Amino acid sequence: MPDAHRRLIVVSNRVGPLVSGGKAGGLAVAMADALQERGGVWFGWSGDLSESGTWSQIRTEVHGEGPTAITLATLDMTEEDHAQFYEGYANRVLWPLMHYRTDLIDYEPRDEEGYRRVNQRFATRLAAHVRPGDMIWVQDYHYLTFAQQLRMAEINNRIGFFLHIPFPPPDVFNVLPRADGMLRALLAYDVLGFQTRRDADNMIALMESEGGERTGEDTIHVMGRDLTVKAFPIAIDARSFAELAATEEAQIAQARAERLLNGRQQIIGVDRIDYSKGLPERFMGFKKLLEDYPENSGRVSFLQIAPPSRGTLDAYARIREELEQISGHVNGRFGDIDWVPIRFTTRGQPRSALAGLYRASRVGLVTPLRDGMNLVAKEYVAAQEPDDPGVLVLSQFAGAAEQMTEALIVNPYSDGDIAEGIQTALRMEKTERIDRYQALMERLVTNDVNAWRHSYLTALDR
């Protein structure tokens, strides 16, 4: 067990909310729980743009008292910071790069400068508040160079990093201009955590190509530094999510969906609109189902919930248009006056309603082209009714596929494969559905988000 007395400093792009239980999204809950256990600081962007931006003073808000008090500490950004650091380098360079989409990289040297500048200012502002013995845990691709900046400010504490998105093989990573500088920046961390074995192995291969030598199963010596490089697959609070699916609010959402379905079966997809999620390919997979297995006509509906994300970027607007076009076409060609094959909504749902909708669906369709983990896959399973569960159809390229081997694993690039996966799920006998559900659920409960956090902090708190 990690030493609960060392103060924890969490760094992530957005800070809070400090909520627990099954209500909020995965990352926020995991961080809030870690801080509630040992107290500490949660540091990141305030969400505000101001003229002074990263030059402004840290704003703090203290919750609780004594050793487990939590301080939320935030800084503003300027519009320029946000455009270069967040929209530019983080989301138009690192996001596509890490998702193996080098064709979508839009690299501008000034965005890289903005990225480094924001990392540097955030790190130097934080450095003044770091005490000896604090453990620092940095989250995600916004802050790859954060530890390097802290080291320059003479912070010698243990600093860990967790990447929520995939990490590609060396040939892909090296497409990044000045990739070697980025690797060197990452070496300032003590622990590099990834979602899957595949991601961790990609990092180790990159380090080995730079002369690194493994010193143990998860340790490597490279350019004079000793690091832990390891997979820590992120998880959900599966028990709470299962309970949430049985609450009254969830039941109301479930009943509403079932009334509308009128005896038909539902397939559900839930994703932020993003090219990594494979949404147009998924819609084409459903179309193929109706073509290849016409017995599903009038009997199955596909509900896609896809809230917009980072809507300012053109790529996202284009996907949305494409989805509207495909669903219009499919509904026109296959639909009937009393049957709409694809329902597509961009509205966000309360988590309890989401849980009810998962439960109302015989098939959970999770087919990203590339995904760090994918928590929707885990939520879908956790929400199922134990004695009549639905079936998860899962992309081989979601990090979740490494653990969720009882799902029906499909290739998201193939509409035929998706169609076949759905058809198998729709036809599956109850006993087999229960067997698969039980195996998946057992693993979700054992490896929940608390276990995830403890295993990471144990590695960091050496």
Catalytic residues: 164, 371
Stretch that binds ligand ADQ, among 197-205, 323-331, 373-381, 417-425 (CB under 6 A): 373-381
- 73's enclosing H/E stretch is strand 70-77
C-beta of 228 vs 374, nearer to ligand ADQ: 374
- Site residues for ligand ADQ, 231-260, by CB under 6 A, read 234
Taking the least distance from each CB to ligand ADQ, the nearer of 229 and 305 is 305
Contact with ligand ADQ (CB under 6 A) among 371, 406, 417, 420: 371
- Assess 376 for contact with ligand ADQ (CB under 6 A): yes
> Does residue number 27 form part of the binding site for ligand ADQ (CB under 6 A)?
yes
Tell me: does residue 101 bind ligand ADQ (CB under 6 A).
Answer: no
Closest to 33 measured CA to CA, from 223, 204, 235: 235
| Residue whose CB is less far from ligand ADQ, 426 or 460 | 460
- Draw the binding track, 126-165, toward ligand ADQ (x: CB under 6 A; -: no contact): --------------------------------------xx
Q: Which one-letter amino acid corresponds to residue 216?
A: G
Question: Which residues are paired to 231 by β-bridges?
Answer: 194
Smallest distance, Å, CB 449 to ligand ADQ? 10
169 interacts with ligand ADQ by CB under 6 A:
no
Spatial CA neighbour of 294 closest among 428, 411, 423, 392:
423
Q: How far is the CB of 307 from ligand ADQ (least distance, A)?
A: 4
448 touching ligand ADQ, by CB under 6 A: no
Can you tell me the distance from the alpha carbon of 256 to that of 441, in angstroms, rounded to the nearest whole number? 26
Q: Tokens in use for 194?
A: 């990834």
Determine, following the binding rule CB under 6 A, whether residue 7 of this chain makes contact with ligand ADQ: no
Task: Give the whole-angstrom CA distance, residue 153 versus residue 144.
Answer: 16
Burial degree of 128 (CB within 10 A; 0-12, 13-18, 19+): exposed
Minimal distance in Å, beta carbon 20 to ligand ADQ?
Answer: 15
Q: Which residue's CB is nearer to ligand ADQ, number 223 or number 317? A: 317
Give kind and range of the element (H or E) at residue 136.
Answer: strand 135-139
Q: Name the token pair of 320.
A: 């949305």
d(CA 442, CA 452): 15
395 binds ligand ADQ (CB under 6 A): no
2, 16, 22, 26: which one binds ligand ADQ (CB under 6 A): 26
349 binding ligand ADQ? (CB under 6 A): yes
Residue 437 contacts residue 387 (beta carbons within 8 Å): no
> CB-wise, 155 or 369, nearer to ligand ADQ?
369
Tell me which of 70, 267, 330, 373 binds ligand ADQ, using CB under 6 A.
Answer: 373
List strands edge to edge, sheet with 408-410.
342-345, 300-305, 265-270, 363-366, 391-395, 408-410
Smallest gap from Cβ 365 to ligand ADQ, in A, equals 13
- The smaller minimum CB distance to ligand ADQ, of residues 6 and 351, is found at 351
Per rule CB under 6 A, is residue 348 in the interface with ligand ADQ? Answer: yes
Sign of CA dihedral 217, 206, 411, 361: positive
Considering the rule CB under 6 A, would residue 354 count as an interface residue with ligand ADQ?
A: yes
Pick the closer one to ligand ADQ by CB: 244 or 426.
244
Question: How many angstroms separate the CA atoms of 96 and 275, rounded?
Answer: 9
Query: Contacting ligand ADQ (CB under 6 A), which of 54, 78, 352, 374?
Result: 374
Q: Is 389 in the site for ligand ADQ (CB under 6 A)?
A: no
Q: Does 17 bind ligand ADQ (CB under 6 A)?
A: no
- CA dist 136 and 130 (Å) reads 9
CA distances from 178 to 168, 174, 181, 185, 194 (A): 16, 8, 5, 11, 22
Q: How many residues bind ligand ADQ (CB under 6 A)?
A: 20
For the bound state, the minimum distance from the C-beta of residue 8 to ligand ADQ, rounded and expressed in Å, comes to 18
CB 351 within 8 A of CB 395: no
Using alpha carbons, list the distances in angstroms from residue 158 to 53, 133, 185.
28, 8, 15
Rounded to the nearest whole angstrom, what is the least distance from the CB of residue 95 to ligand ADQ in the complex?
Answer: 9
| Nearest Cα residue to 389 out of 409, 357, 362, 424 | 362
Q: Residue 225 Cβ, how far from ligand ADQ at the closest point, in Å?
A: 26
What's the CA gap between 353 and 373, in Å, rounded?
A: 22
- List residues binding ligand ADQ (CB under 6 A): 25-27, 164-165, 234, 270, 272, 305, 307, 348-349, 354, 371-376, 379
